[in-house]
């Protein structure tokens, strides 16, 4: 389980977790004491565009393991019967290897619980918050290079929820399938829309955001079984600020300019 991190941070104690310093090729003078995403076959130099996906690419290409997964230093899967909000130490609530193995005996893939928008579709939410040309161009790429995924893409765009965050656990074989689908699409996308054209670091990370929706496109097309697992943040989330930004974007007052 790769834990994508760009700064020093506490990590889970369970040995299934492997902290990966992302963007190491861009910050060679920074050593967090984690394995770097710049060794072996890597795309570490694209981290400013791909975010945590450089860690995903690294474990895909360089790690041999029956199961593989990706989480973030500030977002993890929670043990299913834990109560992070009432826990003295939220790290005690992070899912461990034994529970992961039990769940994977019941389904092909573990994903986060869907993020639901209720008053928005996935497409309309993106259009209100970010440049929607990115989604439109993604569909054009699929129509040419992988047309079997277009029906699922359209279904996801009409949905009011999705498995976000680029978090999942699956077998090595299925991760190979997923990454073999995902990275060529993103490669073509950045050829068509140069992330640097937007002029700031937040907007340049759009390929990482597009990939969050492509997970459901892949899942729906393949028909693999999955189990939704709760997520937790070791730090409190400012839901007032998050909700206010959502509503401002919904009514056309202000698009997103930073992560929350």
Tens-digit pLDDT profile for residues 94-130: 999 999 999 999 999 999 999 999 999 999 999 999 9
H-helix or E-strand spanning residue 67: strand 67-72
pTM of this prediction?
0.90
Phi-psi region of 166 (alpha: psi -120 to 50; beta: other; left: phi over 0): left
- 102: which 2 tokens? 């039990």
Distance CA 38, CA 214 (A): 25
pLDDT grade for 237, boundaries at 50, 70 and 90: low
- Count of CB atoms within 10 A of residue 258's CB? 9
pLDDT digits (tens, 9 = 90+) for 123-168: 999 999 999 999 999 999 999 999 999 999 999 999 999 999 999 9
What residues have CB less than 8 Å from 89, skipping those under 6 apart?
A: none
d(Cα 34, Cα 75) in Å, to the nearest integer?
Answer: 17
Pull the structure tokens for residue 8: 């020093």
Mean pLDDT of 177-185: 98
pLDDT for 26 equals 98
Query: What is the rounded distance in angstroms from the CA atom of residue 152 to the CA atom of residue 149?
Result: 5
């Amino acid at each position: 389980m790769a834990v994508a991190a760009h700064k020093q941070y506490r990590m889970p104690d369970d040995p299934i977790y492997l902290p990966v310093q992302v963007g190491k090729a861009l910050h060679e003078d920074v050593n967090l004491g984690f394995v770097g995403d710049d060794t072996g076959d890597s795309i570490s130099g694209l981290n400013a565009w791909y975010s945590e996906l450089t860690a995903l690419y690294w474990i895909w290409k360089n790690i041999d393991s029956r199961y593989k997964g990706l989480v973030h230093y500030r977002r993890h899967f929670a043990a299913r019967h834990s109560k992070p909000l009432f826990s003295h130490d939220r790290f005690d609530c992070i899912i461990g290897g034994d529970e992961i193995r039990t769940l994977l005996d019941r389904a092909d893939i573990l994903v986060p619980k869907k993020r639901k928008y209720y008053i928005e579709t996935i497409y309309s939410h993106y259009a209100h918050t970010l440049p929607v040309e990115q989604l439109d161009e993604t569909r054009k790429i699929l129509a040419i290079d992988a047309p079997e995924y277009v029906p699922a893409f359209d279904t996801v765009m009409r949905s009011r929820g999705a498995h976000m965050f680029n978090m999942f656990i699956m077998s090595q074989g299925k991760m190979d399938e997923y990454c073999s689908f995902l990275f060529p699409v993103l490669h073509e996308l950045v050829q068509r829309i140069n992330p640097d054209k937007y002029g700031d670091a937040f907007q340049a990370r759009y390929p990482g955001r597009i990939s969050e929706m492509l997970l459901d496109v892949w899942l729906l097309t393949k028909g693999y079984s999955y189990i939704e697992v709760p997520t937790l943040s070791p730090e409190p989330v400012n839901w007032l600020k998050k909700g206010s930004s959502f509503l401002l974007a919904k009514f056309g007052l202000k698009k997103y300019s930073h992560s929350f």
